[in-house]
Structure 1
Amino acid sequence: MAPLTSGPSTPLGSVGLARRFGAWLHIDAAYGCGLLVSPRHRQRLAGIEQADSVTLDFHKSFFQPIGSSALVLREGTDFDSIRHYAEYLNPRAAAAQTPNQVDKSLQTTRRFDALKLWVGLRTIGASAIGTMFDRVIELAGEAQELIGVRAELCLEAPVQLSTVVFGFNHPTEPLPQHHANTLNDAIRQRLYERGQAMVAATTVQGRRLLKLTLLNPNTTVRDLEEILDLICQAGYELLAENFAKGRP
């Protein structure tokens, strides 16, 4: 089979390869699933419906309470791979009086997590949820600009959704990477101890970095400015303390 054509930022090229080699194509949209209802960025998931399976975490970019997730299959018959018959769980179709959900999950006794999404969609609506996700993507772009004008902060990669990854270092006399790693962790600890901010972290190719994941559409640019200013303030304080003690 010839590969499907695809435009930028679409999964169609992967679909073509999967169909050619008979491979199962799974798309992890746990974080980016909010794009499905985004008025501005929906095209980023163009072709996702051709995947064999998709992971969705509604408690992320659908703004639902934690524990609201789904595995969506393109073909319902693919659930057969986890089907196991037991009379007390899933009686034969002829005897069943209600729709059987046991064959749709590895869990049998489970919470009614789908209710969270149902209530959210009924009360807020898909369009409003998409607009909220568009806003946090916009906020991440604004954070990127704020980082760009602070010489002591360095963006690790261009923002794509609503996560911003960056690091702090001396703007004119940068520390060696292993000292910079220690410094970035110390910044987080200081802000936590002072009760000023909770800043996440991650490590990319040995570089310890700071991470902001923006999932509150009510966040303001001023909020972002204050957090970045606190990071810079703590960073300079730690640099001064370490230099005063003769340590890098």
Structure 2
Amino acid sequence: MNTNFEQWFLYPSEQSEKNFHELIESTVSLITNEGTKVDKPFAGTSREDIEAMARKVTHLPVSGQQMEAVMKDIRDVVKHSLWISHPSAMAHLHCPPLLPSIAAEVMIGALNQSMDSWDQSPVATYVEEEVLKYFMKQIGYPAKADGVFTSGGTQSNYMGLLLARNQACQTYFSVNAQRDGLPVEASKLRILCSEHAHFTVQQSAAQLGLGIHSVVKVKTNDQQQLCLDDARKTLEQLQKEGLIPFAMVATAGTTDFGSIDNLKEIADLVDTHQLWLHVDAAYGGALLFSHQHRHLLNHLSEADSITIDFHKLYYQTVSCGAFFVKDKQSFQHIMYHADYLNPEEDHEEGIINLVEKSVQTTKRFDALKVLMTFKLLGTDTFGEMIDYTIQLARETAELLRQNNFDVLHEPMLNVVLFRLLPEYVDDPHFVNKLNLELQRYFYQSGELIIAKTKQNGKVYLKFTMLHPLNSLENMKNHIENIKQIGKKIESEKGEKVYEYSVHY
């Protein structure tokens, strides 16, 4: 029986150290050779070939293989992955990670701190707390505020509505939902958000036992922001119907438009009606460090809870997010004590166990990534990156207009929605199909990764321009290529596409 287990763990032995160095060096070599030297973000491999490759490399042997053989298989995985660090990868809010964040991932994995109880993460607990305090200061929150790192916006938005729901049950029904569950009257509770708010508002409502019907969508204005007039009318109508609006979700950076709701006016409205205000700033929260656009978040501090994602516009590796509350007492709505993890005497002695303010138990030491990034870059450089990408998006929108594209909005952040209009056919089904074909063509070619979405039944293409290494010259080339391929599709497939569109 092989008992030489120490070679596979971080352990004070020569063999352990040797294996660790070899694995890390092989990994660095693989990434730099197969990733940083690529000339396009995707190899363009078909789904069928990728599936076949995955089946091959995921064969798990009874006996361990040599490192060279293993890395050869892993090389195929890397080679056919989407290289999100390429400036032409512009589909989603999926950022190129900064080098300090990637380096911190190695440390996070090696230390493997479990961020649920202090005794499992003695230093990491305090690092997370201090990083969060720094961000709460940037937000403008009072000393009684608090926060916790999360897996991202989905979890953070869920937590905001969970705390709001439990508080509403206490306020309106004198029911402790954490202890006794939801009362029958909870079916009257309503959440308001804009029609462009993230889908996790509805998802959270469903998971919280309120049902998707409890989410009432408010219209948006011509800047794609939550319309205050419609919000007022909606609140009045809900109250006339005997329903109970208890929370409003504002968005600082919508997924499709990057629009930022008017936080000051929403906060005033919410205060009048005594609602919980949650701000989903998963995307736009990076403007806290912008030199030119920081004012758009000036009233973020009026929110009862806030979502910020670091794996979006903060350039951190997935996953890395945070959830903040203006009053730390709000976490009482989800606090539990387990004698084997966070006994009550720990709380009485001032020992911090992060599980008490999280819906996760085991949690990663993601604060280390944010800490290393800002210590190495500094806030000034980071802010310059944000401002550059926003300016580039606005210049790109203007460039698209000059080339007769239909641009749906003026970018507030760094996302641009547009579509190519065919030269000779004005049938709306044809236009939709043409733009779908363009998105698929460029993805399959691997040279340009863009997203598709729908607004008012129309298909639009989307540049999500997060990468600070992108340039206007690159965008000029992409736009010209889109025009040329569009003409080719229109001439070669026009008749076929038109016939398809009749049944679209």
- TM-score normalised according to structure 2 size: 0.46
Alignment correspondent of 2:89: none
| Residue 143, structure 1, aligned to residue 396, structure 2 | yes
Question: Is residue 38 of structure 1 aligned with residue 290 of structure 2?
Answer: yes
Q: Distance in 1 between matches of 2:279 and 2:461?
A: 27
Q: How do residues 1-248 of structure 1 correspond to structure 2 at under 5 angstroms?
A: 10-94=262-346, 98-151=351-404, 153-171=405-423, 173-243=424-494, 247=498
What are the superposed Cα offsets for residues 187-232 of structure 1, whole Å, 9 maximum, x if unpaired? 1122222232111111111111100001111111111111111111
C-alpha distance in 2, partners of 1:135/1:198? 20
CA contact (8 A) 1:18 1:24 kept: yes
Query: Helix, strand or coil: the match of 2:344?
Result: coil
Kept in 1: contact 2:430–2:498 (CA 8 A): no
1:11 CA displacement: 0.8
Task: Indicate conservation of the 8 Å contact 1:10/1:45, yes or no.
Answer: no
Post-superposition, which runs of at least 4 consecutive aligned residues in structure 1 deviate over 6 A? none
- Report the structure number with the largest CA radius of gyration: 2
Q: Distance in 1 between matches of 2:454 and 2:357?
A: 36
The separation in 1 between residues aligned to 2:262 and 2:496, in whole angstroms, is 53
Instruction: Specify which structure has the higher proportion of helix.
Output: 2
Deviation of the 1:14 alpha carbon: 1.2
Amino acid in structure 2 at the alignment position of 1:104: K
Q: Measure, in 1, the Cα distance between the counterparts of 2:488 and 2:282.
A: 38
Aligned length: 239
**In the aligned structure 2, how far is the partner of 1:63 from the partner of 1:133?**
10
Residues 442 and 448 in structure 2, CA contact (< 8 A), matched pair in contact too: yes
Change in CA separation of 1:220 and 1:176 when aligned onto 2, cut-off 3 Å? same
Matched-pair identity in %: 32
Task: Quote the offset at 1:46 in angstroms.
Answer: 1.1
Higher relative contact order (CA 8 A, sep 6+): 2
Tell me by how many angstroms 1:127 deviates. 2.2
Amino acid at match of 1:128: T
8 Å CA contact 2:442–2:449 kept in 1: the answer is yes
Task: Please give the root-mean-square deviation of Cα atoms over the aligned residues, in Å.
Answer: 1.9
One-letter amino acid matched to 1:187: L
Deviates more, 1:126-135 or 1:189-198: 189-198
Contact 2:433 / 2:497 at 8 angstroms: preserved in 1? no
Structure 1: runs of 5 or more not aligned? 1-7
Distance 2:278 2:368 in 1: 25
One-letter identity of the residue aligned with 1:158:
E
TM-score, normalised with respect to structure 1: 0.90
Structure 1 residues 243 and 215 mapped into 2: Cα distance closer, same or farther (>3 Å)?
closer
Single out whichever of 125-134 and 30-39 deviates more from structure 2: 125-134
Whole-angstrom CA distance in 1 between matches of 2:345 and 2:263:
37
